Amino acid sequence: MIEVGLNHFLVVSTLLFAMGIYAIVTRKNAIMVLMGVELILNSANINFIAFTRFGNFGLQGHLIALFVIVLAAAEAAIALAIVLNIYKTLSTVNIDEVDSLKD
């Protein structure tokens, strides 16, 4: 049996991070992009928890993870509201087509 160590956690979180980036960059649907953002946030959470578990940081990591979860909830609410408004005005959630600031 391999002992599960810090590196394992970091690998998982890195993978999660990369998947999040990939989702943000490639997906056309705004909802999908948001899900990518969530992935990135959670990869950061895993890192925090892992460092707390293996490092000597007391409860700081847990606390920050809790903050991030709260923050993610708020962010999701705002972002979804924005998406809803975009849909209302432009009748699409395809972020490729949302480029009126260009001109």
Partner 1 sequence: MTENSIINISLAILFLPLLGFVVTLLLGKKVKSIYLFEVFLITVVLIASIFLAFSKLSYFIDDKIVSELEWFRLSDTLVINLGFLLDNITVLMLFVVSLISALVHYFSIAYMKGDERYNRYFAYLGIFTFSMNGIVLTNNILMMYIFWELVGLSSYLLIGFWFEKKSASDAGKKAFIVNRVGDLGMFAGILILFLTYNTFSFDTIFQSIGAGKLPFNSDFWLSVTGILLFMGAIGKSAQFPLHVWLPDAMEGPTPVSALIHAATMVAAGVYLTIRIFGLLTADAMMFIAVIGMLSAFIPATIALTQNDIKKVLAYSTVSQLGYMIMALGVGAYKFAFFHLVTHAFFKACLFLGSGSVIHAMHHEQDIRNMGGLRKKLPLTYATFLISSLAISGIPLTSGFLSKDGILASAFAFGSLTGYWIFAVVGFLVALMTAFYMFRLIIITFHGEPKDHHKFEHAHESPFVMAMPLAVLATLSIFIFYTPNPFSADQGWFFNKWINSAELHAPNSTRFDFMQSEVLSETEHAAEQNSLHGEITYSGKYTEAMHSAHYPAMFLSLLVALAGILIAFVFYQWKKVDVDKLANSIKPLYNFSLNKWYFDEFYQKTFVAGLLGLSKIIAWFDAKVVDGIVNGSAEVTRRLAFFTGGFDRIVVDGLVNLMAYISGFIGLIFRRVQTGKVQTYLVLVIFSIIILLFLF
Binding site for partner 1 (CB under 8 A): 21, 24-26, 33, 95-96, 98-102
CB of 83 to partner 1, least distance (A): 12
| CA nearest neighbour of 79 among 40, 41, 45, 35 | 35
Residue 23, CA distances (Å) to 43, 75, 98, 100 in order: 14, 17, 18, 23
Label residues 62-92 b or e (16+ Cβ within 10 Å = b): eebbeebeeebeeeeeebeeebeebeeeeee
Residue with Cβ nearer partner 1 (34 or 64): 34
Residue with Cβ nearer partner 1 (12 or 32): 32
CB of 10 to partner 1, least distance (A): 17
Residue with Cβ nearer partner 1 (15 or 66): 15
CB of 15 to partner 1, least distance (A): 16
Residue with Cβ nearer partner 1 (34 or 65): 34
Q: Which residues make beta-bridge pairs with 29? A: 94
